[in-house]
Amino acid sequence: MTKKKFISIILARGGSKGLKHKNLKRIAGKPLIEWSIIQSLKAKEISSTWVSSDSKKILNLAKKKGAGIILRPKKFASDKATSESAWIHAIKHLKSRYLKFNYVVGMQPTSPIRLSGEIDKGIDIFKKKRFDSLLTVVKTHNFTWVKKGGRFFPDYNLNKRKRRQNLKPKFLENGSFYIFDKDGIIKHNNRLYGKIGLFKMNSQSFIQIDDLESFNIINYLMKN
């Protein structure tokens, strides 16, 4: 049986509303985008690493660090553009260049707290369980509330409050990486479809860089 090939596609826009040029800001001594490139290149299951961006500065850096580059059209790099549209553009571009691959590991540079070994473990689970798509999550036993009609309501019984550790676990998406078939995402226009798998990561990986505060927190964690 022919071995299925996995590649990574890292989406890194040049602009950002929350934190300007965040993908090039230095975190723990390296530009943010570089961490995802390093982690991908070290993952044994990934055959090639690609960065999709509308920024020439990001693409030049990616090329120097050993990643392949894909110039993303502006229409797929706006604030309203979905990650799906950017991944699909990248996949079609690589297919037009006759690159042979079966699955994509969609990595998000704003979630740099991950290890190369975790990527390999996620791929291993994806293959063994024969999932169609997979997402990374963190497990939580926290009490949560929801807003309805301008008011807040608990999602647990206030009169029979359990110990936190006795609550049913919930799984929160941390946005670290996704795995999907190159044709499946095009067909469904969605990164998650079919038989969906979850890959659990540590609680610190839940922090994503959206603003200066989260940037400083991750910078501290990765330095220490």
Give 87-135 pLDDT, tens digit per residue: 999 999 999 999 999 999 999 999 999 988 999 999 999 999 999 999 9
* Whether residue 150 has pLDDT greater than 90: no
Q: What's the pLDDT at 191?
A: 96
Residue pair 196/134 in contact (Cβ under 8 Å)? The answer is yes
Pairing relationship of beta strands 103-107 and 133-140 according to DSSP bridges: unpaired
Please give the CATH number for the structural domain made up of 6-138+173-223: 3.90.550.10
Residue 70 neighbours by CB distance under 10 Å: 21
Q: What is the pLDDT of residues 3-47, one digit of tens each?
A: 789 999 999 988 776 677 889 999 999 999 999 999 999 999 999
Q: pTM for this structure?
A: 0.89
Residue 79: pLDDT band by 50, 70, 90 thresholds? confident
Listed residue (143, 103, 114) closest to 204, CA to CA? 114
Q: What are phi and psi of 5, to 5 degrees?
A: -95, 135
Domain boundaries, the chain: 6-138+173-223
Tell me the C-alpha to C-alpha distance, in Å, between residue 132 and each of 10, 104, 108, 135, 196. Answer: 20, 11, 19, 11, 6
Q: Does the annotation count 151 as an active-site position?
A: no
Q: What's the pLDDT at 192?
A: 97
Active-site hit among 97, 151, 161, 163: 161
* Whether residue 153 has pLDDT greater than 90: no
